[in-house]
Homo-oligomer: A and B are copies of this chain.
Amino acid sequence: MTTTALMNQQFRLAARPVGMPKRSDWEQTTEPVRDINDGEIVVKALYLSLDPAMRGWMNEGKSYIRPVAIGETMRAGGVGVIVASKSDKFAVGDTVSGGIGVQQYWVGAADDKSANFYKISPAMAPLTTWLNTLGMPGMTGYFGLIESGQPKAGDTVVVSGAAGAVGMTVGQVAKQLGCRVVGIAGGKEKCDFVVNELGFDACIDYKNSSVKDGLKEHCPGGVDVFFDNVGGEILDTVLTRINLRARIVICGAISQYNNTTPVKGPANYLSLLVNRARMEGIVVFDYADRYHVGVAAMAKWMQEGTFKSREDVVDGLENFPEALLMLFEGKNFGKLVLKVADA
| Interface residues in chain A, defined as those with a beta carbon under 8 Å from any beta carbon in chain B | 62-64, 231, 236, 250-253, 256, 262-283, 286
Contacts and interface: CB of A to CB of B under 8 A. Distances in A.
Contacts of A275: 64, 281
Contacts of A267: 262-265
Contacts of A271: 281
- How many monomers of this protein are in the complex? 2
Nearest to A275: B281
A281 B273 CA distance: 4
Nearest to A263: B267
6 A-B pairs closest in CB distance = A265-B265, A273-B281, A272-B281, A265-B267, A265-B266, A278-B280
A133 to B, nearest CB: 22
Contact of A263 (B252, B270, B286): B270
A63 B274 contact: yes
A45 B183 CA distance: 53
Given A265-B269, A275-B281, A276-B281, 14 more contacts: A64-B274, A250-B270, A252-B273, A263-B269, A264-B265, A265-B265, A265-B266, A266-B269, A269-B269, A272-B281, A273-B281, A273-B283, A274-B281, A278-B279
Contact of A269 (B250, B273, B276): B250
